[in-house]
Amino acid sequence: MMKRTVLRMLKEAAAKYSNIPYALKKFDSGYVGTTFLQVREQARMFAAWLLANNFKKGDRAAIIAEGSPEWLISELGVLSTGMTSVPLSIKLLSDEIPFRIEHSESKIICTTHNQLEKIANALMIAHIVEMRIVYFDDDIEWGQSVLSKSKISEDCIISLKEVLSIGASLLKQNNEYVQKLDLIEETAEENDVVTISYTSGTTGNPKGIMLSHLNYWSNCHDAIDLFDNPMYFRTLLILPVDHSFAHTVGLYTAMICGISLYFVDSRGGGIATLRNIPLNLKESDPIFLFTVPSLSGNFMKKIIAAIEEKGGLIERIFKNGIEAGILWNGDGYHTPPFKDRFNAFFPYFMAKLLVFNKIKKALFGNSIRFCVGGGAFLDIKQQQFFAALGVPVYQGYGLTEAAPIISSNTPRIHKFGTSGIIAPSVSCKVMDENGVEVQQGTMGHITITGENVMLGYYRNPEATAEVLRDGRLWTGDLGSMDEDGFLAVIGRAKALLIREDGEKYSPEEIEEAITMSTDVFDQIMVWCDHRKYTMALVTLDEVKVKNLIAKRSIHSAEALLAILVDEFYRFKNDPKAKKVQSTWIPSVFQIVEEPFSEQNGTINSTMKLVRHKVSEVYKEYIEYSYLPEGSSTMNKKNLSLIARRFSLD
């Protein structure tokens, strides 16, 4: 039987889709593609150079770079040598890189202009003066000067262009290298380690997740089955490609279906990259997109803000159309009652004809069919909104330890408010603390078995034993299976609220209920750690609050805060919102001035809330909530902040 490896996927893709663009990069003249055949050829050039420089099977190579054809070619070149790739986030700080480089024992780093100074600083921190660096950009002299300033030898750096040139000569002039690469490809084992992907390190040192050829093979084929063989699709890769979601379902799944990957133009750094996304969307005209809740949430806010700015008839048609669309779609799985669809028909289809289709075309191009969401839980309000708009975001669930897909909603079968059906090759059981499977609809620990489950954590047998028990992966997430076979993910087991009497509750359920009923709060974190009552930390959506102030002619901080309190608790009487046990409803909320972000460590690189970090950064606000003055939301801190922020009396 032919072995199921990433290298086999690449070889077969190069033969089947030889002239189809695989990876496309933006230049001044527009997007230029590298075909599947060219990617494999260049990966083998890279691999030949690695072999000539005494790199061998099992050695590790770190990649810290923006998504690009060069990123893809480098990783596949590393794998073609039998080496292991260590994809690292470009969002890491200089002092976060050394542990990952040293722990993985990486012998080479692939990087770009945007990242080189940070890497040089990281190498200085780690006292590493000899490290081979492959540089993706053309300004190699600048790169040499950066290393020189950091007391690192200029000889350590070489351009990818030169690497490929040397590799091409080796393959052309010396058949020995061709034979070596063919042999590595043929003898690669299904359980050989392909990548060591580090967790975001929200508690203690990050853990290196070892994923094998079989892990990727299995998960890629599951993705294809879930989405009914999306042949020759196009997508713009907005997510960082070190992210396991984009890595598996983007870079690798493309090999099976001939999917063309357009990379966001990253020239000029992070801010420029964000600015380039709207133009790149129009240029790539994607058929589908990968997204995370923070990204789709920003899209939703911008769409609503643009419509509200237009006002008048357009705003009424849009908002009535969204409400009607939500009614028309129901939960996405069960057909809504005839009466609901009858009432929704005219406003929904009028909005589609007059407004929605124009928004879709302006933002996403002519070809968009759907988006796939991962990384964190996508609240039901976003799912309903985008489905009504005609660009559904199908929520999935997974984690890097599962390569990463465990379940997903799909165009064929979906239910809003869930994380979809279980992937074909995965077996999922919801279990209690003792490892006994719970009844349908009962909350418990999500556990899985399957060929997608990681080999373990690199050089960390204790952590491996904690999550891999008798071959079963304990994900650390809580959830339940409903009567229709959909998985509902509730949240992290370790993030549970704990009252002073020991009772526990999921903060995500409360946060979702609040955000479902109001949009004036930008971010919410509910907190209770052995205290008498629950409190919340919130940030405000300034645009929405300013609109409230204008519409209601608010002149005082007291009046605005009273309205915000009403908005916060609207979910209690909202039939569409999740029901929350009254004893867990936050008694008070504190408004924080600085949003939760990667900069202050409260959001990690996959855009998830780092709860323990939020509680550290805002410890003063939390403690204030349990003092007599701060136990009421109408307190001095909140009044002072909104008076200052919105220029109120």
**Same-domain pairing of 101 and 239:** yes
Share of the chain above pLDDT 70, in %: 98
CATH code of residue 504: 3.30.300.30
pTM greater than 0.75 (yes/no): yes
| pLDDT tens for each residue of 315-363 | 999 999 999 999 999 999 999 999 999 999 999 999 999 999 999 999 9
Residue 375: its pLDDT value, please?
Answer: 67
Residue 36: its pLDDT value, please?
Answer: 98
**Same-domain pairing of 440 and 531:** no
| pLDDT tens for each residue of 129-138 | 889 999 999 9
Please, are residues 559 and 611 in contact by the beta-carbon 8 Å criterion?
Answer: no
462, 492, 522 - which closes a domain: 492
Distances (CA, A) of 199 to 35, 204, 244: 32, 10, 10
**Same-domain pairing of 481 and 501:** no
563 inside domain:
yes
Residue 202: its pLDDT value, please?
Answer: 47
**Same-domain pairing of 578 and 474:** no
**Same-domain pairing of 116 and 254:** yes
Question: Hey, CA dihedral for 136, 137, 141, 144, is it positive or negative?
Answer: negative
| pLDDT tens for each residue of 577-626 | 778 888 899 999 999 988 898 888 888 766 778 888 898 899 999 999 99
348 inside domain:
no
Averaged pLDDT score across all residues of the chain: 94
336 inside domain:
no
Residue 53: its pLDDT value, please?
Answer: 97
DSSP letter string, 1-56:
-----HHHHHHHHHHHTTTSEEEEEEETTEEEEEEHHHHHHHHHHHHHHHHHTT--
Residue 606: its pLDDT value, please?
Answer: 67
Query: If you compute the radius of gyration of the chain from its CA atoms, what whole number of angstroms results?
Result: 26
Cβ burial 51-86 (10 Å sphere, 16+ → b, else e): beeebeeebbbbbbbbbbbbbbbbbbbbbbbbbbbb
Please, are residues 132 and 107 in contact by the beta-carbon 8 Å criterion?
Answer: yes
Is 557 or 292 the better-scoring residue by pLDDT? 557
| pLDDT tens for each residue of 191-229 | 999 999 998 654 568 999 999 999 999 999 999 999 999
| pLDDT tens for each residue of 45-54 | 999 999 999 9
616 inside domain:
yes
Residues near 208 by Cβ (< 8 Å), separated by ≥ 6?
A: 86, 100, 103, 104, 196, 197, 198, 457, 458, 459, 460
Share of the chain above pLDDT 90, in %: 80
Q: What is the count of structural domains for the chain?
A: 3
**Same-domain pairing of 132 and 199:** yes
Span between the terminal Cα atoms of the chain, in Å: 76
Segment 82-98 shows an average pLDDT of 94
175 inside domain:
yes
Residues near 556 by Cβ (< 8 Å), separated by ≥ 6?
A: 648, 649
**Same-domain pairing of 36 and 92:** yes
**Same-domain pairing of 428 and 570:** no
**Same-domain pairing of 117 and 223:** yes
**Same-domain pairing of 459 and 557:** no
Which tokens is 179 given?
Answer: 């034979």
**Same-domain pairing of 145 and 176:** yes
Q: Could you tell me where the beta strands, DSSP code E, fall in 71-229? A: 84-87, 106-111, 132-135, 157-159, 193-198, 208-212
Is 500 or 288 the better-scoring residue by pLDDT? 288
Residues near 77 by Cβ (< 8 Å), separated by ≥ 6?
A: 42, 43, 44, 45, 46, 47, 49, 50
356 inside domain:
no
**Same-domain pairing of 78 and 224:** yes
102 inside domain:
yes
Residue 526: its pLDDT value, please?
Answer: 95
Cα angle 571, 573, 575; round to 5 = 85
| pLDDT tens for each residue of 404-451 | 999 999 999 999 999 999 999 999 999 998 999 999 999 999 999 999
| pLDDT tens for each residue of 448-494 | 999 999 999 999 999 999 999 999 999 999 999 999 999 999 888 88
CATH code of residue 468: 2.30.38.10
CATH code of residue 235: 3.40.50.12780
Domain that holds residue 479: 418-492
Helix (H, G, I), strand (E, B) or coil at 184: helix
Residue 136: its pLDDT value, please?
Answer: 98
Half-sphere exposure of residue 122: CA atoms within 13 angstroms, side-chain side: 20
Helix (H) or strand (E) run with residue 524 in it: strand 521-527
